[in-house]
Amino acid sequence: MDAFLAGVGPRAFRFAELGLRDREDALDAVQDAMTKLLGYADRPATEWTPLFWSILRRRVVDLQRRRAFRLRWLLPGQSNDDDAMPDWTDTGPDPARTHDGREAYARFAEAMASLPRRQREAFHLRILEELDVATTAQAMGCSEGSVKTHLSRAREALQRHLEDWR
């Protein structure tokens, strides 16, 4: 279990950070998901991947809903359009490469943030995490056909959004 959590941790953090747009909330969401997964340590290791991503996805959605509710309650008529990008530190020696990498990530994160939640989740789990369709469907709580549809639409939208940057 320790090896699984160590391997999935950084990717899970990126998933949560893209969904929540807040570093601290993302860290909390990943930590909560990992803690909840420990309760399933007796399950076979093959079940951990879809179970973990399902737990994390639900935690991210819960935090998004909680944030939206608080904003509607505290600030009626205003939305949370915080497009501030995370401040990534890069220890690479080449400043031009560092800038290009940050710009690429910022554009990718912006494009991902513009996607609807389900499309963003399908893209992340299928492409970035390389989960199969059945595992992704199980983690997202939908059918395999829905995963394929969300992924196709996400790819088209990302291609349109990033076309000028190529």
Per DSSP, 79 falls in state: -
Give residue 86's region: left, alpha or beta (phi > 0; psi -120 to 50).
beta
Positions in the chain short of pLDDT 70? 71-99, 165-166
Quick: pLDDT tens for 30-41: 999 999 999 999
The domain ranges of the chain are 1-75, 94-166
Q: What CATH number is given for 94-166 in this structure?
A: 1.10.10.10
**118-143 residue pLDDT tens:** 999 999 999 988 899 999 999 999 99
Q: How far is CA 110 from CA 47, 79, 94, 105, in A?
A: 32, 17, 24, 8
